[in-house]
Structure 1
Amino acid sequence: MTDVWQSAMDHAVAVARKAGQMVRDAVGSLQKEAVMLKSSSVDLVTQTDQKVEELIIQSVKEKFPSHCFIGEESVAAGEVCVLTDAPTWIIDPIDGTTNFVHTFPFVAVSIGFSVNKQVEFGVVYSCFHDQMYTARRGRGAFCNGEPLQVSQQRDIQQAIIATEFGCNRDPETVDKIFSSLKRVVTIPVHGVRGAGSAAINMCMVASGCVEAYYEIGIHVWDVAAGSLVVAEAGGVLMDVEGGPMDLMSRRVLAANNRSVAERLVKEIDVFSVRRDDAAS
């Protein structure tokens, strides 16, 4: 990694911490804050999401004016979601907005940085736990400066699996989600968990307390940073049908090793979702 990317990563860590403070400060005024809807009645966005993204993008533009951005709220406001070879900041200002609205304390600021469509560093700041997860390509993954290592468990029957229900309430989609859940639970596994934040779920895999995480329907800003944290902690990433992970596909399977991942692939009842980079 060149010095300029190290400078960018240092900036990402600093601005993520600042954004996290903004998120914590906003909790006290949540009763007054307008909660808006995006794609459905359970796809929430707040003024804080928008303010935090604006803070991050403005601070990055001042320091790296030639860089590109993919931001959750920018895309929601109509910006195109396209990943090019150019240096690109991939930002989820509040990963776990529903958690934030309910003060359920799994909320993260997620910042990924890609060059040539490859994530070069990832920063995930778990705001309420003051945990800063960082990863640089080829240089390891850390939480608050301590090295991360995935679980060494190879027996899926002794694993904890993380997943989420998403915000699509279409009955056919919900049936598929529960079909997968039933099949995973009856492998059987030790348990199924979900933090309500894709980025935090991936950091749990990297930390070794969860063996795998899968989800269909997430977005590139949910997983860009976390995917590198998993990879640099020794984990594997793939598509839910077993191929290579595609950041724009809205499908992810992150696991501590390939055997656990491949066993999970057999149980996931796949459904189709519109790609992030599909023409609007």
Structure 2
Amino acid sequence: MPFVADPALLSGVTAAVRKAGDTLRERYTTHARGVSLDEIVGEIHANDDAVLAVLREPLLKARPGSQWAEDELAGGALPPGEWWVADPAEGNINHVHGMGEWAVTATLVRDNQPVLTVVHVPLTGDTYTAVAGGGAYLDDRPLRVSAKTDLGATLAGTGQARPGEGEDTFRRIGESVSAMLTSGLVVRVSVPATMQLIHVAAGRTDAFWQFSDVRSGLVAGALLVAEAGGVVTDLAGEPWRTGSRDFLAAAPGVHAAALAVLSPIA
């Protein structure tokens, strides 16, 4: 059955995510917090706890019967049904180091497909939303992916999904960056994924790939890009789902060329 969202649902989720963004912004400093690894991890957990305290219950109440995906760094498929996949501080590592690329995200995933998402960027006040079949928006302005057709003219991006991904994943990241540096124009390597994917959805950049199945970093951007007219697959060219091993979101005019460059890197 196609997903049908009551307009009140999107409005309620947007309000909850914006309120959570206010909490995260209040915790922000322009200087780095924490020197040791333990101190940095402590700051990250404190951000998560503060935001979840104002985000979790409003989302669960907004969609009766929905469930909460607890581990924001978890990957793989979810059980059937509707799940909230949220990141209370997407780009948390940037936040605690005094940098500006961070957001609050909440995505409703139905049977392993994202169907509604809200991404709020507190420092700019921008709110990105998408509903399956209903388009993608920056506030009230429709989003559209890039019209580029030449991979050699593309600004593309990738990044590390989480610390300790493993030697094989780190090797694939390095090889893919080298390959795309040769084939494209410029490659950005940064975190978090959602902040790169909103640029793809808005047509500011042209492609993003990642060797990861971390759901919370991909579900929001996957829906935004798809609803903005982009193509979202795994690196075998199959439609992307939450259980996919890897990820590529790109403007339709460059997706096939990017896939040809990245798919051999296994």
TM-score, normalised via structure 1 length = 0.82
Is this contact kept in 2: 1:240–1:265, CA < 8 A? yes
Which residue, 182, 185, 196 being the options, matches 2:178? 182
Question: Aligned in 2, Cα 1:30/1:71: closer, same or farther, shift over 3 Å?
Answer: farther
Q: How does 1:174-253 map to 2 (within 5 A)?
A: 174-187=170-183, 189-253=184-248
Match of 1:35 in 2: 40
Residues 49-88 of structure 1: matches in 2 within 5 Å? 49-73=48-72, 83-88=78-83
Q: Please give the per-residue CA displacement for 1:27-54, whole angstroms capped at 9, x wherever unaligned.
A: 14974895328xxxxxx83211122123
Which secondary structure does the structure 2 equivalent of 1:245 belong to? coil
Which residue identity lines up with residue 35 of structure 1 in the other structure?
A: I
1:20: which partner in 2?
21
Instruction: Pick closer, same or farther for the CA change 1:65–1:139 going to 2, 3 Å.
Output: closer
Bigger CA drift: 107-116 or 154-163? 107-116
Residue pair 2:13, 2:62 contacting (<8 A) in 1 also: no
The amino acid across from 2:11 in the alignment is D
CA deviation map 1:29-87 (0-9, x unaligned): 974895328xxxxxx832111221232112223444421111435x77xxx97623422
Aligned equivalent of 1:96, options 91, 100, 108: 91
Cα distance change on mapping 1:266 and 1:82 into 2, 3 Å? closer
Deviation (angstroms), 1:226: 1.4
Equivalent residue, structure 2, for 1:267: 261
2:76 touches 2:243 (CA, 8 Å); kept in 1?
no
Looking at structure 2, the residues matched to 147 and 209 of structure 1 have their Cα atoms a distance apart, in angstroms, of 14
- Residue 135 of structure 1 aligns with which residue? 130
The answer to whether residue 1 in structure 2 is matched with residue 6 in structure 1 is no
Query: Amino acid of the residue matched to residue 185 of structure 1?
Result: L
Preserved contact between residue 111 and residue 224 of structure 1 (Cα < 8 Å): no
Q: Please report the TM-score for the alignment, with normalisation by the length of structure 2.
A: 0.86
Q: By how many angstroms is 1:2 displaced?
A: 3.8
Alpha-carbon distance in structure 1 between the residues aligned to 2:108 and 2:149? 31
Give the whole-Å Cα distance in 2 for the aligned partners of 1:249 and 1:184: 21
Aligned-residue Cα RMSD (Å) equals: 2.6
Q: How does 1:143-162 map to 2 (within 5 A)?
A: 143-162=138-157
Read off the aligned partner of 1:13 and give its amino acid letter: T
> Kindly tell me: are residues 63 and 137 of structure 1, through their superposed partners in 2, closer, same or farther at Cα, counting changes over 3 Å?
closer
Paired with 1:194 and 1:125, the residues of 2 have a C-alpha distance of 22
Deviates more, 1:95-104 or 1:81-90: 81-90
Contact 1:119 1:224 in 2 (8 A): yes
Relative distance call for 1:133 and 1:241 in structure 2 (3 A) is same
Structure 1, unpaired ranges of 5+: 38-43, 272-280
Matched residues in 2 for 1:85 and 1:173: separation?
A: 28
Residue 109 to residue 134, structure 1, CA distance change in 2 (3 Å): same
Judged with a 3 Å threshold, the aligned counterparts in structure 2 of structure 1 residues 261 and 99 are, in CA distance, closer, same or farther, namely same
Q: Which amino acid aligns with 1:175?
A: R
Q: Runs of 5+ in structure 2 lacking a partner?
A: none
Q: Secondary structure at the match of 2:261?
A: coil
One-letter amino acid matched to 2:49? Q
Cα offset for 1:172?
4.0
- Distance in 2 (CA, whole Å) between partners of 1:141 and 1:123 is 10
Kept in 2, the 8 Å contact 1:219–1:248? The answer is no
Matched residues, percent identical? 26
- Which is worse superposed, 64-73 or 132-141? 64-73
Tell me: CA distance 1:214–1:9, structure 2 relative to 1, closer, same or farther (3 Å). same
- 1:40 match: none
